[in-house]
């Protein structure tokens, strides 16, 4: 009963809102370049399908690359931090600076550095910068949260640093990492789109560029179509990572247990 409601209630609300929107736009004769009807947006999906598909693929690829890069570098640096306090003291402030400086302000600089002919790389770097920090911060915290007594037990049995890391600290940090991945997945998408806005038009042809271009030409229905795709992408990333979290933690972690019982 409850599970059924979880899906049916939001879907019903969505359909009701779309129906009202369609009716309202016609009834009050809202101009198409202010708010297009849902049916016009649907038409745009058909008419602009080639452009939208190419833009989606470009954005999707950059998001995935940036996310994987953030995952690998974030975890690697977190492991380094957990092994050496000196490395952490030296690098952590700079990681924070990179994080707190608004990405939109760094973007023009990165674009100049990598050159307009390699705008893809600039987008990748910018998306990576925003996705990287949650992974680093949470994994570092997770690695440091290992039970002191378990560490003592490992030492008692002559475990190496590597064994403590691999068998104790990393599994213990997994819930922290998976939580961070859900945040970073969304941030990578935001980073990729924001970077495209900042880079301006040119060789970037992702969904951010599609929105800018369509806006310039008052193709508001195409803007909505691109926005809808971005939302679906964001939701899909979130659900995929939630499913991964569930699959990896369901046997043992409290967060998964409460959902099970």
Partner 1 sequence: MTSLLSLHGVSKTFDSGTQAIAALDLEVRTGEFLSLVGPSGCGKSTALRIIAGLIAPTMGNVAWPSGRPEIGFVFQEPTLMPWRNALDNARLPLELKGIARADAEARSRQALARVGLGEFGHAYPRELSGGMKMRVSIARAIAAHPKLLLMDEPFAALDELTRQSLNDDLLKLAREDGITVIFVTHSVYESAYLSDRVVVMTPRPGRVTADIAIAQPADRSVAYRLTPQFTDAAGRISAALGDAMSRAA
**How far is it, in rounded angstroms, from Cα 173 to Cα 164?**
12
Q: Which region among 41-49, 158-166, 208-216, 223-231 touches partner 1 (by CB under 8 A)?
A: 158-166
Contact call for residue 24 and partner 1 (CB under 8 A): no
Q: Which region among 25-33, 128-136, 170-178, 226-234 touches partner 1 (by CB under 8 A)?
A: 170-178
Single residue of 34, 86, 100, 156 touching partner 1 by CB under 8 A: 156
Contact call for residue 157 and partner 1 (CB under 8 A): yes
Contact call for residue 251 and partner 1 (CB under 8 A): yes
Tokens 């058909």 belong to residue: 46
Single residue of 11, 19, 76, 257 touching partner 1 by CB under 8 A: 257
What does the block give as tokens for 20?
A: 């009202």
Q: Give the CA distances from residue 242 to residues 1, 245, 246, 258, in Å, rounded to whole numbers and listed in that order.
A: 23, 5, 6, 15
Are 59 and 195 in contact by the 8 Å Cβ rule? The answer is: no
Contact call for residue 114 and partner 1 (CB under 8 A): no
Are 101 and 191 in contact by the 8 Å Cβ rule? The answer is: no
Q: Whose Cβ is closer to partner 1: residue 239's or residue 252's?
A: 252
**How far is it, in rounded angstroms, from Cα 179 to Cα 256?**
12
> Minimum Å distance from CB 175 to partner 1?
9
Q: Whose Cβ is closer to partner 1: residue 18's or residue 159's?
A: 159
> Minimum Å distance from CB 141 to partner 1?
17
Contact call for residue 154 and partner 1 (CB under 8 A): yes
Are 247 and 174 in contact by the 8 Å Cβ rule? The answer is: no
Q: Whose Cβ is closer to partner 1: residue 38's or residue 172's?
A: 172
**How far is it, in rounded angstroms, from Cα 143 to Cα 156?**
20
Site for partner 1 in 134-153 (CB under 8 A): 147, 149-150, 152-153
> Minimum Å distance from CB 8 to partner 1?
32
**How far is it, in rounded angstroms, from Cα 140 to Cα 174?**
11
**How far is it, in rounded angstroms, from Cα 176 to Cα 201?**
38
Q: Whose Cβ is closer to partner 1: residue 34's or residue 156's?
A: 156
SS3 for 33? coil
Given the rule CB under 8 A, which residues bind partner 1?
A: 147, 149-150, 152-159, 163, 167-168, 171-172, 174, 251-254, 257
């Amino acid at each position: 009963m409850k599970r059924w409601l979880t899906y049916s209630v939001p879907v019903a609300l969505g359909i009701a809102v779309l129906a009202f929107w369609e009716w309202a736009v016609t009834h009050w004769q809202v101009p198409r370049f202010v708010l297009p009807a849902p049916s016009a947006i649907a038409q745009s999906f058909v008419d602009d399908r080639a452009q939208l598909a190419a833009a989606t693929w470009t954005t999707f690829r950059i998001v995935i690359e940036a996310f994987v890069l953030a995952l690998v570098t974030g975890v690697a640096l977190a492991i380094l931090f957990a092994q050496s306090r000196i490395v952490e003291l030296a690098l952590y402030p700079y990681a924070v600076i990179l994080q707190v400086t608004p990405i939109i302000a760094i973007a023009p600089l990165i674009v100049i550095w990598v050159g307009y002919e390699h705008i893809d790389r600039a987008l990748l770097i910018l998306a990576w910068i925003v996705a990287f920090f949650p992974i680093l911060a949470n994994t570092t915290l997770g690695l440091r949260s290992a039970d002191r007594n378990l560490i003592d037990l490992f030492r008692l049995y002559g475990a190496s640093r590597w064994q403590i890391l691999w068998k104790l600290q990393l599994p213990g940090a997994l819930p922290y990492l998976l939580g961070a991945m859900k945040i970073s997945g969304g941030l990578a998408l935001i980073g990729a789109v924001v970077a495209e806005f900042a880079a301006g038009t040119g060789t970037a042809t992702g969904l951010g560029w599609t929105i800018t271009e369509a806006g310039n030409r008052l193709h508001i229905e195409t803007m909505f179509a691109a926005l809808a795709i971005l939302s679906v992408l964001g939701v899909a990333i979130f659900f995929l990572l939630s499913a991964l979290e569930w699959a990896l933690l369901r046997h043992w972690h409290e967060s998964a247990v409460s959902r099970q019982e």
